[in-house]
Structure 1
């Protein structure tokens, strides 16, 4: 099993989420945890080959350890995209075999690839040949009428034979027919027990469990049950302070004290100033910060000020400072 920064960090990871885990979100999350592995949004191989690479792949050095998630099903294209991404210094390249959206299905990548383990094996083999860093896979336990008890171990067997030693497994089926992507995140039942059995069946693989995990208590329970890692999605976005502020201490054994939510907000101000100076807009960053004080005194004031003010022309870091002051007054 590779011993590298991404593997060590994968004890806890923040899931790749389309339209959410962009570079500004990841920088924000990094202010709360120095060790958790952060994933990019899924970027398709054709987009990298033919699009604006800097816009798609650039990130702040502080984001490390950071992983790039790729979408695609053509081994040659994925190898080329992996080679290009290597120049940006990601700590890991991950292949998406879990996204259930119609757009992804029509492009023959994402969860539909659970039906084609041999193709996935060919894809990752090509990516591994092109990559200086570890290539991993994020998958489901199956799709549609597949029997996960049979499909998942066969998938892990075939894909690991191609050289992948680390998988993140969303413990739900994806229903490609009849459910929307949003419904696929909630309606198919979770089967954590199956994922745990996969760890027992494949002890040489590094397996992280994903799906429905919302607290560090749940993360610790999965780790105690023998999983190598846990991946949190929506909870890390909507209630980031609850999930990430104590992660270094509770999951990684760090001795330093956690930051407060106030300190995190203040730490974002220089980053915001630099983004604005480069021609960016305030709400491109603050839209990811709305949940920072979720469940804490003053949360409604924080969210209201950012929501109403950050999109206005000329809005700057003073909006965040004003929102933070409102939180402080309310809390007092």
Structure 2
């Protein structure tokens, strides 16, 4: 990728897209093309095609998506499958039609079967039933992977896919109901400390194990893959370490200064029992994460505190 290449970051205001845009600028890529969702609705096929016809980006990081935690996925399954299918179909097709050089599609670790062997290898895809709570989102992401592979096979379009583990970091969604586990816990423990609430209850048993990757590491991996990889198969991006949700909660409680009691609520869903990615393919290419969970959580909490007032609006 030349430093003056026309690069479109779809979803630049989101957690991952924002980190990708930062990473690109830090590496000297200044010719970035961005649009807010108000300026360009990626669900609108005609609008997306008109955008590509006018801008003709050479490289595309497709980080735009409708995302959310267990509650959001269970409550809005139709929105998750419809919106994500529309976004990725429109962008991938227009990128090919208007002769983009390369596209990187961002998926999710939820594409894998609920009971996939751990750590999860790329070839576990479609080998068993999905986790029901986020099936709609997972099916859309699987379709995106397969669409990129089909366009590569039929048209020779250089589309690649990266499957990140659970991501977190500055710019995350801290909504009290629709956020993922780390931002949700950061907000709850922070507010409990401020209000003097003695007990915080977390969803589920606390036993499921999850792997977490700081979003700036993910952005670095995306740039690495865009420069170094042009294969047919998707690539896992993780850190090869996991911990239980209860262990995570205790760590966040300590970082936020919450000194009260942490309880679990087994009546709420746990989701997949364990989800640890096999990062061997990417590691063999020469990439490794740099930021530890402790460092990443502290940086994320610092960002949250700096933006807490506007996040409450």
TM-score (norm 1): 0.35
Q: Which has the higher contact order (CA 8 A, sep 6+)?
A: 2
TM-score (norm 2): 0.37
